[in-house]
Structure 1
Amino acid sequence: MSLRDRLAAQIAATGPISVAQYMAVCLHDPDFGYYATRPALGEGGDFITAPLISQMFGEMIGVWAASAWELMGRPQALRLVEMGPGDGTLMSDILRTGRHAPGFLEASDVWLVETSEPLRDLQRERLPEDVRWAKSLDEVPGGAPLLLVANELLDCLPARQFVRTPIGWAEQVVGLDAHGALAFGLSPTPAAGLLPDAAPGQVYEQSAAQAALGADLGRRVAADGGAALLIDYGRAEPGFGDTLQALRRHEKVDPLAAPGEADLTVHADFPAVSAAAMAQGAEAAILTQTAFLARMGIGERAEALVRAAPERSARIGRQLTRLIGADEMGELFKVCAIHSPDWTPPAFEETA
């Protein structure tokens, strides 16, 4: 039985499910879920992330991490953590860059938070033997300052969708059409009184999972010190919009067409994540990816790479444009720092 057939049987028996429930099953079902069975990253896969576009991205994150460690007073024990580490490229670049900061790697206890066994296998091939793995942040020991990075993690955390109809709010759900195929529909919602005012037709997305991660990170850095850096496409201000999408072989496809066979995402809700973190005693600030990478020195790094390999100048220029161009990743992607209130991480001094 395919995941589509199993979902159809479940819905026929017990009724429609929320978009959040549908996302969770499609991405993480142990037998059929996308990340559990067939994550495909890179040019030959379903999607490509910034660390795979250019080494410059991971190097700037490495500069940020080492500089943050310096600003914290060079603590002798540090939890250096990546959540959702993909194929390990980003952490590999961070560790390579960190070698230029004396004492940084020696202080760092490196952890990867990963639930996908296929991706863990890729990470093991790329990273040192002393790296450790956990399935949740709770499994990473506390008691030491935290520097955590998560690139394109928030977007794959499930979200519910609510639609403003002419008579009030309804929740968008996944049910069955007259032919037994998966289909979107609307269901009355008891949450209507908690939703903002909007014109008919507007869609409001709400991710309890994204907010919960913000709260967990806020609680952690408020207690142990440090900072978390969250990079993703999403909004810096509260807003409306249907952002659910499915990607397969770099093309957008119908999210209901082949459950478990495509990557499902929604935009990161950085205002909700920040608010949840601040409710736990942390501070939070948001920059565009353009501003963050520029402040960390990506322009200078690109110039150095071109000087070292002039024949690659056109390629390096294209990579830089992809990462910071306003009509590429630069403005759509945001960088959110959640940090303890006793200091401000690099690049965020003017916005915190």
Structure 2
Amino acid sequence: MGLRERLARQIRETGPLTVAQYMTACLHDPQFGYYATRPALGEDGDFITAPMISQMFGELIGVWMAAAWSLMGEPPQVRLVELGPGDGALMADLLRAARAAPGFLQAADVWLVETSPPLRALQSERLGERVRWAVSLADVPSGAPMLLIANELLDCLPTRQFVRTAVGWAERLVGVDAQARLIFVLSPTPAAGLLPLAPEGAVYEQSAAQGALGAEIGARAVRDGGAALLIDYGRAEPGFGDTLQALKAHRKLGPLDSPGEADLTVHADFPAVMAAARAEGAAAAILTQAEFLARMGVGARAEALVRGRPDVSPRIGRQLNRLVAADQMGELFKACCLHPADFTPPAFEDA
């Protein structure tokens, strides 16, 4: 019995699932979940992320972290943490770029927060003995300032969906039809709690998990110092829309078509993440990915990579365009920084 059949049986026995429950099962079920069993990253996989597009992405995050450490007064120990580190490419590029600041590398206590056994194996193969692993941020020791990066993590956190009907808001659920196919249904009773006004048919997404992570990072930044950089696709302002999507072999599928066999994501809810961090006493700022990379010198880095090597110029140009162009990743992707109110990290001085 596969995940689809098991979910259908569970729904028949106990009732429909929330979209958040469905996402959690599809991504993290120990036997059939996508990240637990078969994550496929890269050109030959299901999706590609910025560190796989170009080394420049991870290198500039390494420069950002080293510069932030310097602005913090060069503390003798700093937790360098990556949440959801994928195949380890970002951390590898980050650490290589940070060689320019040897004191930072000596101070860095490197942690990867990863729940996927297959991805841990890839990370270990790439990064070796330099890093340690945890299954949650809470497992990373406190007591020292933290510099954290999470690239395309928020979009994987479970989200509930609500639909505005003629009589109010109803939660979108995952049910089954007479042929045991998974289908979307609406809750028979109006959704409880305060939801914003919207036209009929509007979809409102709400992720307790994204908010909880913002609160946890914000509280830790206030307590221990440091800064966190969250990069993902999503909105900088509150809004409506159904952003749930499944990706397999770089193609979009219906979210219910292949449970456990495709990556399942939603847009990051940056306003909720930032509000949760601020509620813990932290400060929060946001830039587009294009703005952040430009402020960190991506143009100069691209020029350095092609200097004296005209053969690589077209490739580097394509990579740069993919990262910063408005019709590529530059505008849809945002860089959100959470930090103590009395410390402003590089690139976010006027954000």
Fold conserved between structures, TM > 0.5: yes
Contact 2:169 2:190 in 1 (8 A): no
**Are residues 1:113 and 2:113 paired?**
yes
Q: Within 5 A, what are the aligned runs for 1:173-252? A: 173-188=173-188, 191-252=191-252
**Are residues 1:290 and 2:290 paired?**
yes
Contact 1:227 1:337 in 2 (8 A): yes
Moved over 4 A (4+): none
Q: Which residue of 2 aligns with 1:40?
A: 40
Cα gap change, 1:227 to 1:188, in 2 (>3 Å): farther
The alpha carbon displacement at 1:255 in A equals: 1.1
**Are residues 1:276 and 2:276 paired?**
yes
**Are residues 1:18 and 2:14 paired?**
no
Letter in 2 for 1:105: L
Letter in 2 for 1:172: R
**Are residues 1:60 and 2:85 paired?**
no
Contact 2:289 2:329 in 1 (8 A): yes
More deviation in 9-18 or 172-181? 172-181
Letter in 2 for 1:218: G
Q: Which residue of 2 aligns with 1:166?
A: 166
Aligned length: 351
Q: Within 5 A, what are the aligned runs for 1:10-159? A: 10-159=10-159
Q: What SS does the aligned partner of 2:335 have?
A: strand
Per-residue CA shift, 1:284-319, capped at 9, x if unaligned?
000000000000000000011110422110110000
TM-score by length of 2: 0.99
Rounded to whole Å, the distance in 2 between the matches of 1:11 and 1:193 is: 25
The alpha carbon displacement at 1:82 in A equals: 0.2
Contact 1:147 1:228 in 2 (8 A): yes
Contact 1:283 1:339 in 2 (8 A): yes
The alpha carbon displacement at 1:185 in A equals: 0.6
Q: Which residue of 2 aligns with 1:5?
A: 5
Rounded to whole Å, the distance in 2 between the matches of 1:65 and 1:165 is: 47
TM-score by length of 1: 0.99
Q: What SS does the aligned partner of 1:127 have?
A: helix
Letter in 2 for 1:149: I
Q: Which residue of 1 aligns with 2:254?
A: 254
Contact 1:169 1:188 in 2 (8 A): no
Cα gap change, 1:150 to 1:189, in 2 (>3 Å): farther
Per-residue CA shift, 1:30-60, capped at 9, x if unaligned?
0000000000000000000000000001111
Q: What SS does the aligned partner of 2:255 have?
A: coil
Contact 2:168 2:190 in 1 (8 A): no
Q: Indicate the RMSD between aligned Cα atoms, in angstroms.
A: 0.8
Q: What SS does the aligned partner of 1:99 have?
A: helix
The alpha carbon displacement at 1:20 in A equals: 0.4
Q: What SS does the aligned partner of 1:194 have?
A: coil
Per-residue CA shift, 1:69-90, capped at 9, x if unaligned?
0110101010000000000000
